[in-house]
Chains A and B, each alone.
Chain A
Amino acid sequence: MSDTTAHVGSPRYSAFNVIAGIILALGLVVTVLRFSGGLSSVTNLDDYNPWGIWIGFDLMVGVALAAGGYVTSAAVYIFGMKKFHSAVRPAVLTGFLGYTLVVIALHYDVGRPWRLPYPFIMQQGTTSLLFEVAACVALYLTVLFLEFSPAALEWLGLERARNWAVKLTLVLTIFGVILSTLHQSSLGALFLIAPSKLHPLWYSPFIPLYFFVSSVIAGLSMVICESSMSYKYFKDKMDDTHMKEKESVTLGFGKAASLVLAGYFVIKVIGIASDNNWSLLATGYGAWYLVELLGFVALPCFLYAVGVREKNITLIKWTAAWTVLGIVVNRLNVSWIAFNYHLPSSERYFPHIAEIVISIFLVTVGILIFRYIVTRMPILYEDPDYPQH
């Protein structure tokens, strides 16, 4: 792909468009198969392995990577870091799309998708952490929608509604932080109920805390990635403020990510110490755990710090991408690699190609909608009619 400015439909996009088209077509085929033949026709799920990558990747990773929305709006509107203002709209948009896709993915995974509101309207399983996840995700999706709405309303020219929506900013931001704290952590807490199935290095009473803290890391890193990608592909859509603040966003978020990664590293080590799991580090799973801890936590922590110190934007960007990959690794470890570690390999799960197709399909849909919106609505620039949003 080219790194020069490009427009929708211009030949520079054609390679991307062709690939996206193929993915969309495959995705639709699998969709038909899923809803005509059931999960067994498109997944490798079974009674031992009820959750595959649609939960492990689409839900767990999706929610973590969509954390940029609450992290950025909290930084700007609550902690008063006005210089990051231009990062809010893209982050909120990414978050909104991320959560929307998570909910769509769930429609593939659960048995009777139209019953997804049942936990709220029929019977509340309040003892379930999944209930907490469901309630918070549903509410937070609404919050993100409202947070995103000013951009859409500006685009539509609905000034009064837009001004009304803008007034809600602070309340929405606080709501967003509460809901995110709750469901980011309870996604990890889902596994608290299965100490006999999740490998002890990953199972920890601290797992809700790990999930929450790592979601902040994911959010910060995603904003950096998203901003550098936007710059690469939608440069012509950016206004001067955005251009000017871009660098300070990268530096500021890189610095924050480095600090939070350091804290995350410490609490992870405390977790091993408090469960006295040191000896497990010498096993095969232990080696993989060390790869995660040293390679995807300690290393990016250090690289971010170096990048910020030397104002090396390129290094920070690559570190952000590496950190995002680390979050993917972590969530897949908890939900898949280290889950059911006690079972013989013949009973373990490996995703079906059709499962992977759907995951890629959904990511592609997300990118396409993102492109549609940023090329039309005031996301990367301020609408001249509505300054200082």
Chain B
Amino acid sequence: MSISRRQFLGWLGAAGTAGAGAAVGKKAHAAASKRFEGYPDSDGVLFDSTRCIGCRKCEEGCQKVNELPEPDRPFDDLTVLEIKRRTRAGVYTVVNKYDTGENGKGTVFRKIQCNHCLEPACASACFVAAFTKTPTGAVTYDESVCVGCRYCMIACPFEIPTYEYDQPLTPKIEKCTMCYPRITQGLLPGCVEICPVEALSFGKRKDLLREARDRIQKHPKRYVDHIYGEKEMGGTNWLYLSGVEFEKMGMREDLGTTSAPELTHGALSIVPMVVGLWPVLLTGVYAINKRKEKINREEKERAVAEALGKANAEAQAKLSQTMEKAENDKKTEIDTAVKKALEEAAKKESDDKETS
């Protein structure tokens, strides 16, 4: 199991404490599990640019031991140094020339290859875990699972991984492996072995750091007081010394010391929060709405019932009124009729009297 996965589980645990602050990267770091400081005995390479003569031998060594394709221009053609190059498919390492114009230090060379980060962005970004940070320090890549999404290339702050864009169906990522197959057999990486001036030294990272500090201390005028890779992006197994500001050799000094996993763990820790909270909240909202609807419906029903009741009562009242009226009418009618009859009878009587 790679260390990054173990860390992920750690974050999941930390998610509880990261809580709401998780979305705010800076703050959430405080709640993160402790930083991975690298495998204690891992190997590394120290590149000393003040020694490098720009001979491109390391490129050649790399091509030979890794059986990479032949270069477009032979390795002893130093005119290619005039153009800025980068790693690309079939090329794990390149040497570039920089004219710094600085106090007599003039032209410097820099060798570019994978820095074998302590907490590699590429490994953290890969969604099939194709990269492994091995205990040797080397970051290796497994072609057999790679989907070719190229997110590792987006993630790598040093712009190292390359891709076989011309392969229609079987493209793979390519990058320096620190000669993993060789170092596990006790051999030196191809570039280190071939370098004629010991601009490259291979060894345990902690020893290399000591060595680098030593050199800076002994020759304070020769070096800038900075070991590139000691802290950059959480630290790398490939370390650099230089006589000029690293920026002048095209190396970014604004990368910061935050490792890739630290940059993303806040967002990852939100996952359990969303999965845990949303269903509860949404079901709650749903239930409230259901209840509201029910109450609404009941109220409506009650209102309807009441209205009906009222209408009934009214109708009843009206009916009895009408009945009463009708009765009254009838009564009057009868009264009138009786009265009329009596009157007529009385009239008849008097008429009879008159005639008799």
**What residue in chain B is nearest A128 (Cβ atoms)?**
B127
- Give CA–CA (A115, B143) in the complex, Å: 12
- Whether A111 contacts B146 by the Cβ 8 Å rule is yes
Among the interface residues B89, B150, B255, which one has the most CB atoms of the partner chain A within 10 A? B150
The answer to whether the Cβ of A63 comes within 8 Å of any Cβ in the partner chain is no
Interface string of B167-189 (1 = CB under 8 A from A): 11111100000000000000000
Residue-wise, chain A 78-102 has the 8 Å CB interface mask toward B (1 for contact) of: 1110000000000000000000000
B267 touches A129 (CB 8 A): yes
A34 close to chain B: CB less than 8 A: yes
A38 on interface, CB distance cutoff 8 Å: yes
Q: A36-B168, A115-B145, A181-B278 are in contact. Are A192 and B25 (CB under 8 A)?
A: yes
CB distance from B302 to the nearest CB of A (A): 21
Residue B128 lies at the interface, judged by CB distance under 8 Å to chain A: yes
Give B64-108 interface residues, CB cut-off 8 Å to A. Answer: 86-89
* Residues A127 and B283 in contact, CB atoms below 8 Å apart: no
The reply to whether A112 and B290 contact each other, CB–CB distance below 8 Å, is no
Across-interface contacts of A134 in B (CB, < 8 A): 127
| Chain B residues near A342 (CB-CB < 8 A) | 252
A127-B289 CB under 8 A given contacts A38-B171, A111-B146, A192-B267: no
Q: Is the interface of A mostly helix, strand, loop or mixed?
A: helix
B270 to chain A, nearest CB (A): 7
Q: Is B261 an interface residue (CB 8 A)?
A: yes
Partner of A206 from the list B23, B154, B169 (CB cut-off 8 Å) is: B23
Of B1-9, B217-225, B326-334, the one contacting chain A is B1-9
- B267's partner among A38, A43, A124, A185 (CB-CB below 8 A) is A185
Q: A80-B289, A177-B282, A196-B255 are in contact. Are A205 and B165 (CB under 8 A)?
A: no
- Interface pick from B39-47, B155-163, B203-211, B310-318: B155-163
- Closest A residue, CB atoms, query B26: A205
| A residues adjacent to B (C-beta < 8 A) | 34-41, 43, 45-48, 50-51, 74, 77-80, 109-112, 115-116, 118-119, 122-132, 134, 170, 173-174, 177-178, 181-182, 185-186, 189-197, 205-206, 208-209, 274, 342
7 closest Cβ pairs, A-B complex:
A111-B148, A205-B25, A80-B289, A50-B150, A189-B267, A40-B165, A131-B127
A-B contact pairs, 24 of them (CB 8 A): A39-B166, A40-B166, A47-B159, A47-B162, A50-B153, A51-B154, A80-B292, A111-B149, A111-B169, A127-B7, A127-B124, A127-B261, A127-B268, A128-B126, A128-B127, A128-B151, A129-B125, A131-B127, A178-B279, A181-B274, A186-B267, A196-B157, A196-B255, A206-B23
